[in-house]
A and B are shown apart, each in its own frame.
Chain A
């Protein structure tokens, strides 16, 4: 049974055309994360929500935004995608933010920018 679901699995957009990636969870976890993983690199955290509180990483570009309308869903919005934004985008959830709270990842959405 899928616990962290990401749609679509593959997304193609044009340079500068806004795109939204979605994530949903059936775990009822408080925290939802978005990681970016570029080719041959390790995942890197963009931001996370603790319940309704949004927390941005210091080096996340302004081009990236997120919305969490309810506990189950979280969206990643890229306002004006550039070629450098092509990557795998990974959603993860955890019950809380303590180090003993395991993060569970979805399958990822691979974004291609033409």
Chain B
């Protein structure tokens, strides 16, 4: 059973903020939301993760709704190098592995 739902693809303009949505309506209280991205022919790159609170780091911001049923990854100023597949992953307390879904293919256009 898929724990997350993401749009298959989206385009973003270079220099603008990219907002990537993820639905996780069956998430439990102790499950984390992780975001990874995978640039073509490279290994997945960790971006950010959160439990309940919004999080920000040097790469992105993660906004989690109050009911925790959805989240948004924000890339504040998209560049062409941000073109990648972005994966939203929910990890349970006993989840040692990352269960990747299909992800969102993000294309940043000049």
List A contacts of B92 (CB < 8 A).
Answer: 99
Q: Which of B42, B97, B100, B102 has the most CB of A within 10 A?
A: B97
Q: In the complex, what residues of B have CB within 8 A of residue A98's CB?
A: 93
Of the listed stretches A42-50, A67-75, A78-86, chain B binds A42-50
**Which residues from 56 to 110 on chain B have a C-beta closer than 8 Å to any C-beta of chain A?**
87, 91-93, 95-98, 100-103
Q: How large is the interface on A (under 10, 10 to 19, 20 to 34, 35 or more residues)?
A: 20 to 34
- Decide: A99 and B32 in contact? CB cutoff 8 A: yes
Whether A103 touches B46, Cβ cut-off 8 Å, given contacts A31-B96, A48-B97, A110-B41, is yes
Pairwise interchain contact B100-A43, C-beta atoms closer than 8 A: yes
**Chain A binding surface SS class:** strand
Q: DSSP class of B's interface residues: helix, strand, loop or mixed?
A: loop
- Judging by beta carbons under 8 Å apart, are B96 and A108 in contact? no
Query: Which of A57, A102, A110 makes the CB contact (< 8 A) with B46?
Result: A102
Residues of chain A having any CB pair with chain B under 8 Å: 4, 6, 31, 33, 35, 42-45, 48, 55, 57, 88, 90, 92, 97-100, 102-108, 110
B44 contacts A90, C-beta separation under 8 Å: yes
A45, closest chain B residue (CB): B97
Name the distance in Å between A19's Cβ and chain B's nearest Cβ: 19
Q: Is the CB of B42 within 8 A of A103?
A: no
Tell me the minimal C-beta distance from B17 to chain A in angstroms. Answer: 24
Identify the 10 closest CB pairs spanning chains A and B, nearest first.
A42-B100, A105-B43, A99-B91, A97-B96, A45-B97, A108-B43, A99-B32, A105-B44, A107-B43, A43-B100
